[in-house]
Structure 1
Amino acid sequence: MNQLFCGIDIGLKTFQFYAMDQDGKAVGKPKRYPNNQTGADQLVDHLDELLEQQGSPALSIGMEATGLYWFPLFHTLQENERIKQWETRLISMNPKIVEAFRGAYPDVDKTDPVDAFIIADRVRFGRGIAPQHVHSEQYLALQRLTRFYIHLTEQQTNLKNYAGSFLYLTFSEWVRTQPFSDRFSVTATKLMKKYKSADAMADLTTDELRELLVDFSRNSFRDPEEKARQLHQLAQDSFTIPDGLVDSVHLLVKQTLQQLELLEKHIKRLKKRIEKIMKGIQHPLLSIPGIGSVTAALLIAEIGDVHRFPGQAQLAKYAGLTWRKQASGNFRAEETFMTKSGNSYLRHGFLIAAQSLVNHNEEYRAYYQRKFSEAPRHSHKRALSLTARKLVRLVYAMLSNNQLYMAPEERTEQKQEVKESTEAPDESVVGETPVTQQPNSSESSEHKKVKSTAAARSSSRQKELNGSKSPPEQYAVNT
């Protein structure tokens, strides 16, 4: 079958199209279309003409998943009725794959038509790419929210680090010794706004500072007198900032703190929205101790239908939680590096989920500590990454089997029950019919009873989680 391979290089205003046959020969001329609905319709008309010339309905279309420019065109082509009638593969590729393939053409120009040609040739080559899986609209909506949540939290972290650099100028010992567990707590923020420098705070008496702490914290300190003495001493020990800088730096500190407060409001509002959506999702991941609604939402929004992955190894590869072996001759590298070539949002979700499990789950805490002690370098990062890799196996098993989380002791108990049931003879059939001749002899009645009991226990926990009579076959999203 003479198949048509097409490449689309997408930009903000236009997209470039290139088509070739299975021998790599150009089919038609490269064309440029406006990146809008009109351009998409013109492209479909052109594809119709090319397929008629080729005499074959087989078609593969590839494009780079750059930002969000690719998605409207991809979705439009995917939903087009004419394209659905053809044998069409729509493929969105990681730009890294296309850039690596470009190395096979070292002397070509870097232009839009050439980029479209390289994408088309990579699609023709075929190995290592697959038709794009697009989530349902509900999960796409959830994905937009969770990705924006990550964006805001990263902004918050960057802004805190930026504010810390200014704070060091005005109150160096505050930054160096961390007198508050949260440098940007309500009490700490009010003090930073009120006093321009450490010298201004050092001019206060301990009693005046204690009264401020009681007022700002609503009397939440166990020993405000001791905390006041500590802050007063830190103010005296801090560097003195030049007088000409005091007002300017204090203005920057105040405005940065105001930005942080606004950002915190947006994050809380977005978190409530995600939690509201998650209340309408009956999902096994919510049964894992230590994984909250936002983390679970992030994982399920990025994974989508877990059955599109043949196994947990493919899910780990999709998340970029894999390590390439490095060996040559007798040499074997002791330290390998994470590929990080997959879905960065999913990898981020697994990493923050792993950190939460280390804090709240004894099984994963023990695993993390063991890997931490084994790592020769970068102990925390490597141990946390391996813990996230272990979590991938758990998540895949739970989603593919639609099972709730079971603690290690529960799993051990269930395995023991199954083992005992398979070893114990069934008195109702012993002496009458050989086991090998009994119908369905591979699973004894007692074994079935144990499995039924385990299933009933899981169903009971599912009811507690969902507040419904029985778990659904598919997870519904109520937006």
Structure 2
Amino acid sequence: MEVVYTHCAGLDVHKKTVTACVITPKEKGGCRRETRTFETHTNSLLNMLDWLVSLGCTHVAMESTGEYWRPVFNILETSLEVMLVNARHVKNVPGRKTDVKDSQWLAELLQHGLLSPSFIPPKPQRDLRDLIRHRQNFVRERSNLVNRIQKVLEAANIKLASVATDIMGVSGRAMLKAIIAGNTNPEQIAQLARGQLRSKQEQLTQALIGRVQPHHRFILAQLLSQVESLDAVIQQFDSQIEEYCRPFEQVVELLDSIPGVARKAAEVIVCEIGTDMSRFKSAAHLAAWAGLAPGNCESAGKRLSSFSRQGNRSLKTILVQAAWAASRTKTYLAAQFRRLSARRGAKRAAVAVAHSILVIAYHLILRNTPYSELGADYFECHEKPQLKKKRLIKQLEKLGYQVNLTEIAIAS
């Protein structure tokens, strides 16, 4: 096979050690392999970098093993061309599994140009992505705590969630604090409602009649304290993310114009795909990378499973959430959702709309243009008359009507 990189290395990265195999050419032909094992603390990694540079190494490949690749990448990225690869793409022959053989196998694959590198964004984007992903973790923890509060209320016969949409809103928190303080009068607690919830006084009074025990109050107090602490942490993350988003502000505003995509969703999209669309061959390539394209599985001329493959989970999650939000608007995306959900179901329709949102985001960033709404009646206006007639007749027949059509002349 053709040698693409003459001086290259493969790294088998673990928590405590890194095994490096360097391949360099011999003067009389052939290749020389040198293997060493280093520890993963910074000084040892710097020694490894010096050793790689002394051998003339220019390209390095390593597997994306959890978070253990990050310290190695931080040391090597400034001096070498580092290639991060998916572990399942470089599996070796079964039965030959050692750290040395793994590093040699990676080096050989890299030498012949047989590795497909994973995307590692520039440092400003990586910093923003770290902040946003950690904010998402805290938001999930907060949701878990709110669910636990709801569980305790149900155990105490308090049905507040049956009346209030958000038990952690202004009204809900005031009622929870009254319950924790020992107030057992449901009428008095119901009077703490604010806004539109005040119109449901009778329902609130009935929902707040329960059997609250001292241990319920203690648990609620601890959970509410944790929620308030996380609220403060999330607010600090928001301000920090806003600071780091300033270089990407124009792109965030463009994405914010898409129906269903709020600012936080726009921030997630930017931190995951960046602002340089040249690394994606097309919008379809981006959708496949994000895990929002149908799977491709065919054998003996038969189409098998078409489940979408695994992709960027953070990006896919926020896009599906944005698709559900867009489905409740009067826009092209909502029309697409209704059109697909009638035939394929709501969940598949949401994934399809998420795919459309990502394609729109790709073109907005690529062309640097704001979103242009096609209208909620786009599909009806572009539907062929014969197909529209057939569809409407079928709908009437499902309702139990016999349809006979008579064409009338339309005055010009």
The TM-score, its normalising length taken from structure 1, stands at: 0.67
TM-superposed CA distance for 1:21, in Å, is: 6.4
Matched, 1:251 2:218: yes
SS in 2 for 1:288: coil
Contact 2:331–2:374 (8 Å) recurs in 1: no
Distance 1:290 1:278 in 2: 20
Distance 1:308 1:339, change over 3 A: same
One-letter code of the match for 1:186? Answer: V
Contact 1:274–1:294 (8 Å) recurs in 2: no
Alignment of 1:369-448 (within 5 A): 369-375=338-344, 379-408=345-374
Alignment of 1:25-104 (within 5 A): 27-51=32-56, 59-80=58-79, 83=80, 89-98=81-90, 101-102=91-92
Alignment of 1:352-367 (within 5 A): 352-360=321-329, 362-367=331-336
Alignment of 1:196-215 (within 5 A): 208-214=185-191
Deviations 1:92-149 (A, max 9, x none): 1234434xx24xx22134x5434434433453564461375431x3323222221112
Q: Which moved more, 1:156-165 or 1:125-134?
A: 125-134
From 241, 250, 260, the equivalent of 1:282 is 250
Residue matched to 1:9 = 12
From 129, 139, 142, the equivalent of 1:156 is 142
For structure 1, the residue ranges without an aligned partner over 5 or more in a row are: 52-56, 84-88, 413-479
Distance 1:210 1:359, change over 3 A: same
Contact 1:210–1:224 (8 Å) recurs in 2: no
TM-superposed CA distance for 1:387, in Å, is: 0.8
Distance 1:354 1:122, change over 3 A: farther
TM-superposed CA distance for 1:49, in Å, is: 4.3
One-letter code of the match for 2:186? Answer: L
Deviations 1:324-372 (A, max 9, x none): 1333336434x631212x3222223322332333334511111112222
Contact 2:287–2:358 (8 Å) recurs in 1: yes
Q: Name the one with the larger helix percent.
A: 1
Residue matched to 2:193 = 217
Distance 1:299 1:132, change over 3 A: closer
Distance 1:343 1:229, change over 3 A: closer
SS in 2 for 1:141: helix
TM-superposed CA distance for 1:224, in Å, is: 4.6
TM-superposed CA distance for 1:30, in Å, is: 2.4
One-letter code of the match for 1:391? Answer: I
The TM-score, its normalising length taken from structure 2, stands at: 0.77
Distance 1:28 1:19 in 2: 6
Aligned residues: 366
Residue matched to 1:350 = 319
Distance 1:212 1:131 in 2: 56
TM-superposed CA distance for 1:79, in Å, is: 1.1
Contact 1:325–1:336 (8 Å) recurs in 2: yes
Contact 2:10–2:105 (8 Å) recurs in 1: yes
One-letter code of the match for 1:148? Answer: H
Matched, 1:315 2:286: yes
Distance 1:309 1:282 in 2: 20
Deviations 1:367-397 (A, max 9, x none): 112222222xxx3332211111111211111
Distance 1:382 1:68, change over 3 A: same
CA-atom RMSD, angstroms? 3.3
Identical aligned pairs, as a percentage?
22
TM-superposed CA distance for 1:303, in Å, is: 1.1
SS in 1 for 2:167: coil
One-letter code of the match for 1:108? Answer: R
TM-superposed CA distance for 1:181, in Å, is: 0.7
Matched, 1:269 2:257: no
